[in-house]
Amino acid sequence: MAHRETFNRPDEPYNDLPALPPLGDLETKAILKAAIDAHVALAELRSAAKTLPDDGILVRAIALQEARISSEIEMVVTTNDELYRALSQQEEFTDPQTKEVLRYGDAIWLGYGHLRKGSAMDVPLLQRLASVILKFDLKIRESRGTRVGDPRTGRVVYTPPIGCERITAMLENLLEYWHTESTVDPLVRLCVIHYQFEAIHPFPDANGRVGRVLNILFLVSQGLLDKPILYLSRAIIEDKSGYYKGLRKVTEYGDWETWVLYMLENLSVTAIETRRRIEAIHHELEAAIDYAEASMRTGYSEELIRLVFSQPYTRISFLERAGIAKRQTASLYLQELERIGILQGEKRGREMYYLNRRLFEILGL
């Protein structure tokens, strides 16, 4: 594979970051083979996702795993329990770390809604994504001061370009590459786009999280996924050294092959893991429907069981909003599901939360 001139001056801003498309061969034999495997895994995931019992809440719960793990990379830590309970309660009862993770989820859905309306990706949307995550208006960097360091040693390993005008032009070039039809495999283009965005590093903060949101949105924009359910951050956090090594090899040696193969392998593995998780949810739902029908003394309906599988925590008000039952009867139905072991009740303040333990475990794998 052709290499460009080495850039290995970590203390200097990379103002000469090459524009897209990259030079050199992006589709070596090894890359094409890995891309085929990734396409197969994504197609199987896309098919499995059609069985999800809820197109909104459960898909959101799965997407929140991406939000939690992606935020953990940035040292914003919360637990699955806090995260899923936050879906079920009012914002004032949610801790700050969980709120920040939820905002990452909001950014995913903002971008997804933008694409669903047929709108094109543009620089203002990138700014909105970053602003939603951090909950204040974030502008493109104007001056120097942003550097990427090795978290273990604190040593500077990369300094991104500086200057709002220069950075904006680089982002516009990236988005032109995003939108332009190409003979290059879209999964390979995804790898290129992710590298380029991280190399531009356009904002003072949230660049990693915005870049990982763009991964999901690009897959949706190319028709490779219908729903934002593939979360690559787990693979990154499990092999941070491989991730940063791949990025640096592109920067320092123009070595795209190492980087693209790393990303394609993680795409395949993550798609397979996510498909298995979805299949497990579907299996548990069908088993719960049969078991509840045979075991409940009162209140059984398939609609009720599907509702308690729409997210890990259920409250009485959920049944009321769904028109299944009024408050007192809804409480009895949930207690009945607790009696037969499908749900586990827990009182928080004056409110009862009913945990679907098995769904919680599957989502938290």
* pLDDT(93) > 50: no
- On whether residue 9 sits in a domain, the answer given is no
* pLDDT(39) > 90: yes
d(CA 162, CA 318): 49
Q: Do 268 and 357 fall within a single domain?
A: no
Was 208 annotated as part of a binding site?
yes
CATH number of the domain where residue 267 is located: 1.10.3290.10
Interval 62-68 mean pLDDT: 60
- On whether residue 344 sits in a domain, the answer given is yes
If phi over 0 gives left and psi between -120 and 50 gives alpha, with beta otherwise, what is residue 24?
A: left
Q: Are 45 and 225 in contact (CB under 8 A)?
A: yes
Give residue 81's pLDDT.
47
Q: pLDDT, tens digit, for every residue of 308-340?
A: 998 888 999 999 999 999 999 999 999 999 999
Was 212 annotated as part of a binding site?
yes
Domains of the chain: total = 2
Was 223 annotated as part of a binding site?
no
Q: pLDDT, tens digit, for every residue of 77-91?
A: 334 445 445 554 544
Q: Do 152 and 261 fall within a single domain?
A: yes
Which three-class secondary structure state does DSSP give residue 312?
Answer: coil
**283 in catalytic set:** no
Range of the domain at 113: 29-277
Which of 196-214 are b and which e, b meaning 16 or more Cβ less than 10 Å from the residue's Cβ?
A: bbbbbbbbbebbbbbbbbb
Residue with tokens 């991406």: 66
Give residue 65's pLDDT.
62
Phi and psi at residue 345, in whole multiples of 5°? Answer: -80, 145
CATH number of the domain where residue 306 is located: 1.10.10.10
Considering the chain, what is the average pLDDT of its residues? 85
- On whether residue 22 sits in a domain, the answer given is no
Provide the whole-model pTM.
Answer: 0.86
Give residue 64's pLDDT.
62
Q: Are 350 and 71 in contact (CB under 8 A)?
A: no
Residue with tokens 């790898």: 191
Residue after which a domain boundary falls, among 214, 247, 277: 277
**Among the options 3, 201, 282, 283, which is catalytic?**
201
